[in-house]
A and B are shown apart, each in its own frame.
Chain A
């Protein structure tokens, strides 16, 4: 029985491994359609990311926003709040951080002020969805997603309009932040380590919040069994507001990290974020409700993003192949989960 129980515990991991393998196979087909040998491609991706010092730092750099956003989304999903608009909240965080950088006097508190402004902006961008959900019962999947597009064009407007830099000639972006407002990086890389540390600490803190505090207990209960939460008199709206604003806020932090750590200015949305807000959905999904697990799943998806970069530069493929990758992966995981549940029912 103990061996059987052990096997049963391992079975889900096997299912996920199989789903990931299927995703790799399917994307391999797409790579083949581009005339590349999929096995070589994967080999090169691996070599260029995990087996190479420069590559590893690229993976880490991609993992930073995924870590932050993924942690927040894991908590939100756990409470049953399906925030899929973290991309927009990240962009607003970048806007908030840039506003603080461009318009506040520079001082020792400037960097913390930028992060605070970004977190507030990201949380505020989630607020309409939170409000509609708690007051009117409008589902957040649509509202959070739609606000992402609004966020993109807000950034486009700002960098072409009022915030357009005075020294940028024809380009659409703001002036560069002053030196003091640029986050330090590990030398020779683009790894802005303060944000990385923030993400790691946050993942651990959210894990503690969820499993060792009364508030975390409420979050889990509301997600698992809203009826029981109602019966126990847990203020469900307060929980939804908490996780909604939290997930938006940490996405905002990720946005500040990108502009303050890498670009040093606000620029085109597609350059600020490589779709981190969407990729983080997979990061959170893979974390299976445990925020600390994003410490593993974020670098994993970071490797796929960095690998995609390599495909573009080294093999001349469109970078957006990584979206095909992410989408296929999530699709396979969700399908595997449903099939697994069905199989469990039939033959436990």
Chain B
């Protein structure tokens, strides 16, 4: 490329106790270019971006903006230099209007009437390729619209470098297309875009240039036209990836029967899930697709015993209503929760986290908690599930995201498992852990474990499910055999545009 570099990172090194998160990483961003940062979890993408955004300071290396060395000591300094971050989960004031959120942190916006504010914003946003309803309340917006507000806020602050951290994770396929159109238009105006992702298709669709990180080191930089999928995977993982083996056919019988399930949501929202009915045979995997916030959480939490519900749910012929999560675990229920912070406590040790389901039963001796048995049982799970941890006593927060997820999966699969409720089981984990978790799910299904798989990753949905159902605004459509629902129809179902 002939365009001069807008921003250069040279030899960036950052050490944490026991790990080198970034090891002499170089990165060059040019105006009007989308530069993808690809890598497994723990590869150092997040560290590199937090250095760029002033959240961390590097141990070595330099950052040059327009050829001049700069020091970025805080996010405020980053913003002054024209670097803006669009976070993975929007950081907006839910109860305020879009206009008010856009004004936050803007200089010189003290004492303005609401109307003047909206007028001013409208004129400043005039040339931008975004469609925003400035008067709407943020809490009424979809995930995609909230993301647009974040992007608009960055552009209003005069961002020349826009960093997007896993921006598609909360979006439905049509919203992803729209985001990509917006980003293309923003790029055309001379903004440099950093696109952090582990989804190869999206990286290939959007980027002009791709940098791959592995183990804190830069292992390759490719222009889009010379990059191939296979090579990128190899760079990322360090070896070829094994596709998940096909799921075995389900067995006869009934593991789970759900009829007319209705569940209320948080903050007194009534009937967020409205009348879901389905059943699962032993060994059957039911994939649940849907845009985030369509009732997935309510469905999963009701099945896992965390939320009261109306309707009937039978596990192996017995109702689950009123049973605690601990009782359900003993009856064969495992639950991989939506977020890792729900499934594991960072301040407690690996062993203590692995004990979560059994500290009152098998890890107890008389009235006492048995620390030796706890450590032994943890060591076995660490070994069997290839959890990379210095030892059972290590605080969980020192593990990478993929290993925390391995620990949660290990714990949930270690009971007398009959039904697994798996919500985004591979969300934000690296390719190696994803592969392992997929293999485990397939193996358990072959042994007769039924799986309710809630996921936003369509590859995962298609690879693992026997049948799929779609949640849209709290209504469950389907399930259908997976072969009957193509990606396009699924996209329409997810956005409520398929009436059939």
Contact = CB atoms under 8 A, between A and B. Distances in A.
A225 B56 contact: no
Interface residues of A, number: 24
B345 A228 contact: yes
Interface stretch (A45-53, A88-96, A150-158, A215-223): A215-223
B17 A217 contact: no
A221 B17 contact: no
A214 interface: yes
Contact of B356 (A5, A8, A228): A228
Interface string B360-398: 100010011101000000000000000000000000000
Interface string A187-214: 0000000000000000000000001111
A227 interface: yes
B343 interface: yes
A338 to B, nearest CB: 17
Contacts of B352: 217
The 10 closest A-B pairs by CB, nearest first: A233-B325, A225-B345, A224-B347, A233-B324, A228-B345, A214-B360, A231-B342, A227-B342, A224-B345, A232-B356
**Residue in A224, A232, A345 with the greatest tally of chain B CB atoms within 10 Å:** A232
Contacts of B16: 348
A220 to B, nearest CB: 7
17 contacts: A1-B18, A212-B369, A212-B371, A213-B367, A213-B368, A213-B369, A221-B345, A224-B347, A225-B348, A227-B341, A228-B356, A231-B306, A231-B335, A231-B337, A232-B357, A233-B324, A233-B326
Nearest to A218: B359
B355 interface: yes
Contacts of B346: 224-225
A347 interface: yes
B57 interface: yes
A217 B355 contact: yes
Contacts of A225: 341, 344-348
Contacts of A232: 325-326, 356-357
Contacts of B359: 214, 217
**Residue in B343, B344, B356, B367 with the greatest tally of chain A CB atoms within 10 Å:** B356
A346 interface: yes
Contacts of A224: 345-348
Interface in B1-58: 16-18, 56-57
Interface of B: 16-18, 56-57, 305-306, 324-326, 335, 337, 341-348, 352, 355-357, 359-360, 364, 367-369, 371
A239 to B, nearest CB: 13
Contact of B17 (A5, A214, A227): A5
Given A228-B356, A233-B306, 17 more contacts: A1-B18, A212-B369, A213-B369, A214-B360, A217-B359, A220-B348, A224-B345, A225-B341, A228-B341, A228-B342, A228-B343, A230-B342, A231-B335, A231-B337, A233-B324, A346-B57, A348-B16
Contact of A214 (B335, B342, B348, B364): B364
Contacts of B345: 221, 224-225, 228
B289 to A, nearest CB: 23
A169 interface: no
B56 A346 contact: yes
Contacts of A1: 18
B306 A230 contact: yes
A4 interface: yes
Nearest to A235: B324
B343 A231 contact: yes
Contacts of A348: 16-17
B338 to A, nearest CB: 10
A8 B16 CA distance: 12
Contact of B348 (A4, A221, A345): A221
Contacts of A213: 367-369
Grouping DSSP codes into helix (H, G, I), strand (E, B) and loop, the A interface class, with mixed when no group exceeds half, is helix
Contacts of A211: 369
A266 B347 CA distance: 44
A123 to B, nearest CB: 22
A320 B359 CA distance: 48
Nearest to A222: B345
A288 B364 CA distance: 26
A316 B354 CA distance: 59
Contacts of A228: 341-345, 356
A32 B324 CA distance: 62
Nearest to A220: B348
Interface string A288-309: 0000000000000000000000
B398 to A, nearest CB: 11
A185 B325 CA distance: 52
A216 B369 contact: yes
A4 B18 CA distance: 10
Given A230-B306, A231-B342, A232-B357, A217 B324 contact: no
A292 B267 CA distance: 41
Contacts of B337: 231
Contacts of A347: 57
A213 B56 CA distance: 39
A233 B305 contact: yes
Contacts of A8: 17
Nearest to A227: B342
Interface in A1-16: 1, 4-5, 8
B55 to A, nearest CB: 8
Interface in A225-247: 225, 227-228, 230-233
A206 B226 CA distance: 65
A4 B368 CA distance: 35
Interface string A140-164: 0000000000000000000000000
Contacts of A227: 341-342
Contacts of B348: 220-221, 224-225
Contacts of A345: 56
